[in-house]
Structure 1
Amino acid sequence: MDHNERPAHASSFGAAAVEYAEHRPDYARTAVRWALEPAPGPRVLDLGAGTGKLTATLVALGADVVAVEPDPAMLSELRRSLPDVRALPGSAEAIPLPDASVDAVLAGNAMHWFDMAVAGPEIARVLAPDGILAGLWNLVDDRAEWVAELVRVGGSAAFGPRDTPAVWRVETAGMHLPEAPAAARFGSPEQAEFAHGQRRTADSLVATIATRAGVLVMPEPERAATLSRIRTLLAGGAETARGEFTLPMLTGVLRVRRL
């Protein structure tokens, strides 16, 4: 993605906040547990929380969660669906929390939007010693032939560089965490992947893909044509033509410790 295109993509989700809340998948609980496993305590920041997809899983696992989200429409959906969660306006580059106030910072399908030159030190500031930073991404499992064809037909707008496992491994392995100020540093990153899936129909899968940033920023004729190609593919597929099916997925996790 061109550097000048990132802000438009990153800020595109608010216009589809209701659809995002309805159609985007949650995260594999095994993945979230693994992300939190080394954390020194239960206090978790969901950073770039969107409509609360990851937040809800953290709550279900018993974490003491605070959510931070920059987009007002996304934050409104989060507050509507999870009224008991403390949810604050803010960003990865300006986190509205005190120093050393959380044991883990998790980001669901969000870390690639952060300006890590600024966000890295800011995350280190709010993390307690030995705290965990983890990014989670939901990936479509293109080892299934029909999913590989879906990715091909959808193109780079519908399926970006972190949406399939093989490319995700390379992209996230190369993510740079800048040195934080003072004594705070991050350790070596660890990657892991966990089986996941989402029950969909052809219509609801098209609706899900329509909430992806690359599709949201398309000119309307191009967007309609892309979604029409996907709809035609699903209508003709043995796995997807009738009723509900499972979209095979993986939740990928990148985890580092604050030293």
Structure 2
Amino acid sequence: MTVGGQAPAGPASSFGGAAGAYAAHRPDYARAAVRWALEPAPGPRVLDLGAGTGKLTAMLLDPAVVPGAEVVAVEPDPAMLGELRRSSPGARALPGSAEEIPLPDGSVDAVLAGNALHWFDMAAAGPEIARVLVPGGVLAGLWNLLDDGVGWVAGLARVAGSAVVGPRDTPAAWRAATSDLMPGPDVAPFDPPERAELPHEQRRTAGSLVATLATRAGVLVMPEAERAGTTGRIRAYLADRPETARGEFVLPMRTGVLRARRR
């Protein structure tokens, strides 16, 4: 998320007003995916860039996920940054963006972005990320994906529509939409990217899943009547499915990771 609170309304600038809901309902990432993203990193200093309310930041600070990480989080939206500081006081949290990172040259071993890399202006962000990384450092983006190989999840995607389940929200769509997302050699000195998809899941109720989907950028910018109609359709679908109609259920997911090493 690379635009601040004063930007015109639009998907990339829509999150600050829903920072509390985002913090409460957005899922974390598969632990194995976070570890895979950091596997080639030469040291423990990690920047969570476009950190939002700190979903990824909290995982980086958890020694059961990443032992010994030294975490800095950078986020442009003041409301999101406030939530992050409350939820992850162990991180150094700074205002800034992917295009203007408030850190010195060569100060981190890895830059991670959770559901944020697609918002970056890579022509400006690529050289900035390379600047703050040490040689051999890692840039990785992580995305949570709905596993539409499961029948009822595929049905949910159809009912919800493209504003809710968008171009990076299912595995095949994510692979296509992120095929050229990393900075090319003409922009910044990174090796060709590697890709992985790791199993993930979240326990949800129908109500909490609707609340989660309501934090998607496409929903946040809808007129109120359209938003109510969209969430109403999703509620009706979940109430009609045996997998989701009663109490808690497991939402099948995957975490997709795209990583590249700085030369």
2:257 match:
253
Q: 2:227 aligns with which of 216, 219, 223?
A: 223
1:177 match:
183
**Aligned to 1:159, what secondary structure does the other structure show?**
coil
Cα deviation, residue 176, structure 1: 4.4
Could you tell which deviates more after superposition, 31-40 or 171-180? 171-180
The aligned amino acid for 1:25 is P
Contact conserved, 2:210 with 2:235, CA < 8 A, in 1?
yes
Residue correspondence of structure 1 range 123-162 to structure 2 within 5 A: 123-162=129-168
Query: Whose helix fraction is larger, Structure 1's or Structure 2's?
Result: 1
- After superposing on structure 2, the runs of 4+ consecutive aligned residues of structure 1 that deviate more than 3 Å are 178-181
CA distance in 2, matches of 1:147, 1:176: 29
2:237 match:
233
Q: 1:194 aligns with which of 198, 220, 245?
A: 198
**Residues 168-194 of structure 1, C-alpha deviation per residue, up to 9 Å, x if partnerless?**
11111222414477xx61001100000
Corresponding residue pairs, total? 253
Cα deviation, residue 201, structure 1: 0.2
TM-score (norm 1): 0.95
The aligned amino acid for 2:213 is I
The aligned amino acid for 2:29 is Y
The aligned amino acid for 1:132 is V
Cα deviation, residue 9, structure 1: 0.5
1:28 match:
30
Contact conserved, 1:120 with 1:179, CA < 8 A, in 2?
no
Residue correspondence of structure 1 range 75-94 to structure 2 within 5 A: 75-94=81-100
Residue correspondence of structure 1 range 40-55 to structure 2 within 5 A: 40-55=42-57
1:70 match:
76
The aligned amino acid for 1:185 is P
Sequence identity percentage: 72
**Aligned to 2:259, what secondary structure does the other structure show?**
strand
Contact conserved, 2:9 with 2:221, CA < 8 A, in 1?
no
C-alpha RMSD of matched pairs (Å)? 1.4
Residue correspondence of structure 1 range 101-112 to structure 2 within 5 A: 101-112=107-118
